[in-house]
């Protein structure tokens, strides 16, 4: 089985990646399993640059194939885009709760909701070779109305609605997630398979 280190400390992201690759000859390894605990300064100008910075830092330590990602957020009705700074507002790194509150208030100012999408950069390093992929993710509805369900993925999943299923992201079941057939899942898996 091929091992692939996922350069993130986010437990949900690791679980999601494992689910995406279920049934394939690829085992996702977390940094925790290799006792890697580093803070990476993501000072790139693009999602791909930040993904590569992370991948390089973890690959240098682990010396096994490594994948990393970074995501930017674009909101149709916003004049000033969060872009790379989804959780960093006015130079301050916000907690998940503060981030959610910030977007709820900002959405109220533009009518309560807006179409939005994430743009993700992925980087894989294998045998010293670098590979990258950029993915424009599916559009969702960003709303100022907060779901009463707890966050499943991150705080923003309580204010994001899947337009096809008409459900908040935090309310999606495993069955819903399989049905979504989302662009990110398909393109991410294809990218990993093409490199490994």
SS3 188: helix
CA atoms within a 13 Å half-sphere pointing along the CA-CB vector of 128: 0
148 is catalytic: no
CA angle 50, 56, 62 (to 5 degrees): 135
Rounded CA separation 180/176 (Å): 6
Consecutive H or E run containing 7: none
Tokens 């149709």 -> residue: 76
The residue from 43, 70, 101, 154 that is catalytic is 70
- As a whole number of angstroms, the distance between CA 104 and CA 50 comes to 27
Question: Among all residues, which ones are annotated catalytic?
Answer: 70
């Amino acid at each position: 089985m091929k091992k692939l280190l996922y350069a993130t400390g986010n437990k949900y992201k690791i679980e999601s990646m494992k689910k995406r690759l279920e049934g394939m000859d690829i085992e996702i390894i977390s940094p925790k399993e290799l006792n890697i605990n580093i803070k990476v300064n993501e000072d790139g100008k693009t999602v791909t640059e930040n993904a590569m910075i992370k991948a390089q830092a973890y690959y240098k330590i682990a010396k096994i194939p490594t994948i990393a990602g970074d995501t930017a957020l674009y909101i149709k009705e916003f004049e000033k885009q969060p872009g790379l700074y989804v959780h960093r507002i006015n130079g301050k790194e916000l907690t998940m709760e503060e981030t959610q509150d910030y977007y709820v208030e900002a959405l109220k100012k533009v009518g309560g909701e807006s179409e939005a999408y994430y743009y993700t950069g992925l980087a894989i390093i294998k045998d010293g070779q670098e590979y990258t992929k950029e993915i424009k993710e599916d559009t969702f509805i960003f709303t100022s109305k907060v779901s009463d369900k707890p966050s499943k993925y991150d705080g923003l999943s309580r204010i994001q609605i899947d337009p096809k299923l008409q459900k908040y992201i935090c309310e999606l079941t495993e069955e819903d997630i399989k049905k979504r057939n989302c662009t990110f899942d398909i393109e991410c898996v294809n990218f990993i398979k093409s490199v490994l």
